Amino acid sequence: MSTAGVSGEDRQDFTTRENKAIRSRSIALLRVLVRPHRARFGWTAIMVVASTAAQVAGPLLIAWGIDIGLPAAVDDGNFAPILTIVVAFLATGISAAGFLAAYTRWSIAISQDMLGALRRRIFEHTQRLSLEFHERYTSGRIIARQTSDIDTLGELLSGGLSNLVAGLLFLVFTAVALVSIDPPSGVALAIALVPIVAVTWWFSNASRREFRASRIFSTRLIIQFVESMAGIRAVKAFRREPADRETYAAKVEDYREATRRTIHVFGIYDPALKVIGTLTVAAVLLFGSFRVIDGTLEVGALLAVVLYTRRFFGPIEDLAMFYNSFQSASSALEKISGFLEERPSVVEPANPQPFEASRGDIVATDVSFAYSAGKPVLPQFSLSIAGGQTVALVGATGAGKSTLAKLIARFYDPTDGVITLDGRVLSTIGDVDFRRAVTLVTQEAYLFTGSIADNIRLGKTDATDDEVMAAARAVGAHDFITALPDGYDTDVNKRGSRISAGQRQLVSFCRAFIANPRVLILDEATASLDIPSERLIQSALQKLLADRTAIIIAHRLSTVAIADRVLVMDHGVIIEDGPTAELLKGSGRFATLHRAWRNSLA
């Protein structure tokens, strides 16, 4: 079943063991992502080291130029040392730039490859998960996994990581160079480290807090936006705009304020670092100048020491920032790895025997079902539908009709008991064979971007144009399709050629017709059709259903007329079951319902 409990976002109160599990699954995911790029990682690391070393060599070469090259040229007229040093300075400077360009490109290429792989993985996983997952996990959250979480991770991978390594190396190399030229200046730097560590510690805590808040507010902003736009019809119908506008404005304000505070933290940290840097450089300069006057320090060495001290402060902010992006990225990784750990609740058997439906007999034995434990929607029932039968399933709203349909179409597995098709337990049939045998058509009738013909071909990808047209004729959709601007090639999502809800249902009928399954389940599939279209469909349906097992769920009882048998459901229990004509003659629930319905038409 699912592992929603440790998916890492609905709760904060994880136990130590859960935290460990979350960390190890994040690391495992990272390993899988890194593995194909190990060699390139190694080369990138070598280039980072080379570039940093070359950068740090600069001030040292300047010191040599002044202390060794200059005297040789001035006193002895020997220009060889200064020229050599200038050439070396140019060479290290240019190669530092070259290595920098190379490792920047490489690290971006590696990280984009990793992110691409991760995106595909998330998408494939989303597809693999069962309907149960999609009815539970909101689409807003899936969108967040695929967008902001991936982006956060991308920021760390493409910039942060190589910056971290380069920054740390730079600090170490600079400190080593400084101490080797002039140990007393190293002491000054060591003293400066005390306030640096203090403000950096403050900064990383404060910025982490503010960044986290601003991320939370930005997610809330996205969620409300998505929800408000997804429900735009209801928003307009019930004049919810002012209320929505107000709550949205409040969220914008929260986000603005959080971002302002984040920037404020930088506004304190950056100047503080600058002040510490200036004081340190001033101290090194003053102290060094006295020693130059004493003759214990060369002028060039003083210049190098001052340059090193100044540059030492450069990467510190990057490092503090890295800590932040590392925090966000690891929480994104936790969420993504949690999502990837979700397991489909309806699992395809490992090595299924091939299956081809023959008669289309459906038998449910002692089946019970609950969406969530302890709340049975369908208490125990048994049911047998002979192949070729057309069964109407009727009952009040919430009776469990759609649930029964989803069980037979194996979008869910029964909590208890088994359902078989032609004697084979549904869970032992491979997905491809099963989907070929059983089709569920719902009221939703979703159309994908593309032409009408493409949408009909969803039922049979290799259908010819003639087959598509024959299907449309059979369900009575041909006339409306040919009346569209481009006929069968009309783009369903293009402005001006949008088609109505009823027309969409006709298209989804075409799909089912062309798919030609042994078992066809229609769940409110005719609800949006007008009476003439429905009549048309009915004659088509009769043809369509003649040689297959069919279950029709409909509130409109006219649809029921073509059924051989009626099942009446109430609170998850089948309370009447019999041939349509017989039930109509009796005085049961169905007869009462049908009489009331007839009277309403008269």
**Contact flag: residue 401 with ligand ATP (CB under 6 A):** yes
Q: Which does 579 bind (CB under 5 to 8 A by kind): Mg ion, ligand ATP, none?
A: none
Contact letters for ligand ATP, residues 539-578 (x by CB under 6 A): ----------------------------------------
**Contact flag: residue 400 with ligand ATP (CB under 6 A):** yes
Q: State both tokens at 391.
A: 């069964």
Report the site for ligand ATP in 217-256 (rule: CB under 6 A).
Answer: none
What's the closest the beta carbon of residue 136 comes to Mg ion, in angstroms? Answer: 18
Cα separation, 514 vs 333, whole angstroms: 43
Q: Give the type of residue at 77.
A: G
Query: Nearer to Mg ion by C-beta: 207 or 402?
Result: 402
Residues at the contact surface with Mg ion, assessed by CB under 5 A: 402
Query: Which among 13-21, 295-303, 401-409, 459-467 is the span making contact with ligand ATP, rule CB under 6 A?
Result: 401-409
Residue whose structure tokens are 């009489």: 595
**Contact flag: residue 402 with ligand ATP (CB under 6 A):** yes
- Beta-strand ranges (E) seen in 359-458 are 362-370, 376-385, 390-395, 416-421, 424-425, 438-441
Among 304, 394, 399, 441, binds ligand ATP (CB under 6 A): 399
What's the closest the beta carbon of residue 542 comes to ligand ATP, in angstroms? Answer: 24
Among 163, 324, 403, 455, binds ligand ATP (CB under 6 A): 403
CB-CB contact of 177 with 56 (8 Å) = yes
- Beta-strand ranges (E) seen in 147-191 are none
Cα separation, 100 vs 89, whole angstroms: 16
Q: Residue 179: how many CB atoms within 10 A of its CB? A: 16
Among 36, 398, 579, 586, binds ligand ATP (CB under 6 A): 398
Cα separation, 420 vs 264, whole angstroms: 65
DSSP 339: H
Query: Which among 91-99, 108-116, 226-234, 398-406 is the span making contact with ligand ATP, rule CB under 6 A?
Result: 398-406
Report the site for ligand ATP in 189-208 (rule: CB under 6 A).
Answer: none
What's the closest the beta carbon of residue 121 comes to ligand ATP, in angstroms? Answer: 26
Q: Residue 26: how many CB atoms within 10 A of its CB? A: 21
Cα separation, 409 vs 398, whole angstroms: 19
Cα separation, 485 vs 249, whole angstroms: 42
What's the closest the beta carbon of residue 563 comes to ligand ATP, in angstroms? Answer: 17
Query: Which among 87-95, 237-245, 354-362, 400-408 is the span making contact with ligand ATP, rule CB under 6 A?
Result: 400-408
Query: Nearer to Mg ion by C-beta: 403 or 490?
Result: 403
What's the closest the beta carbon of residue 446 comes to ligand ATP, in angstroms? Answer: 17
Among 10, 135, 253, 489, binds ligand ATP (CB under 6 A): 135
Q: State both tokens at 341.
A: 């750990």
Q: Which does 399 bind (CB under 5 to 8 A by kind): Mg ion, ligand ATP, none?
A: ligand ATP
Q: Residue 151: how many CB atoms within 10 A of its CB? A: 13
**Contact flag: residue 332 with ligand ATP (CB under 6 A):** no
Cα separation, 573 vs 399, whole angstroms: 8
What's the closest the beta carbon of residue 399 comes to Mg ion, in angstroms? Answer: 8
| Coil, helix or strand at residue 551 | strand
What's the closest the beta carbon of residue 481 comes to ligand ATP, in angstroms? Answer: 29
Angle between helical axes of 80-128 and 16-34 (0-180°, round to 10): 110
What's the closest the beta carbon of residue 450 comes to ligand ATP, in angstroms? Answer: 29
What's the closest the beta carbon of residue 14 comes to ligand ATP, in angstroms? Answer: 26
Q: Which does 328 bind (CB under 5 to 8 A by kind): Mg ion, ligand ATP, none?
A: none
Query: Nearer to ligand ATP by C-beta: 403 or 451?
Result: 403
Buried b (16+ CB within 10 A) or exposed e, 448-466: eeebbbbbbbbbbeebeee
Cα separation, 483 vs 475, whole angstroms: 16
Query: Nearer to ligand ATP by C-beta: 218 or 380?
Result: 380
Q: Which does 371 bind (CB under 5 to 8 A by kind): ligand ATP, Mg ion, none?
A: ligand ATP
Tell me the helix, strand and coil percentages in the chain, rounded to 5: 70, 10, 20
Q: Which residues lie closer than 8 Å to 172 by C-beta, 6 or more apart? A: none
**Contact flag: residue 371 with ligand ATP (CB under 6 A):** yes
Query: Which among 95-103, 333-341, 399-407, 433-441 is the span making contact with ligand ATP, rule CB under 6 A?
Result: 399-407
- Beta-strand ranges (E) seen in 101-149 are none
**Contact flag: residue 397 with ligand ATP (CB under 6 A):** yes
Among 377, 385, 507, 551, binds ligand ATP (CB under 6 A): 377
What's the closest the beta carbon of residue 334 comes to ligand ATP, in angstroms? Answer: 26
Question: Number of C-alpha atoms within 13 angstroms, CB side, residue 476?
Answer: 19
CB-CB contact of 553 with 523 (8 Å) = yes
β-strand 376-385 against 362-370: which pairing, if any? antiparallel
Query: Nearer to ligand ATP by C-beta: 400 or 517?
Result: 400
Q: State both tokens at 32.
A: 């899988």
Cα separation, 162 vs 100, whole angstroms: 10
Q: Which does 403 bind (CB under 5 to 8 A by kind): Mg ion, ligand ATP, none?
A: ligand ATP
Q: Which positions lie near ligand ATP, rule CB under 6 A?
A: 135, 371, 377, 395, 397-403
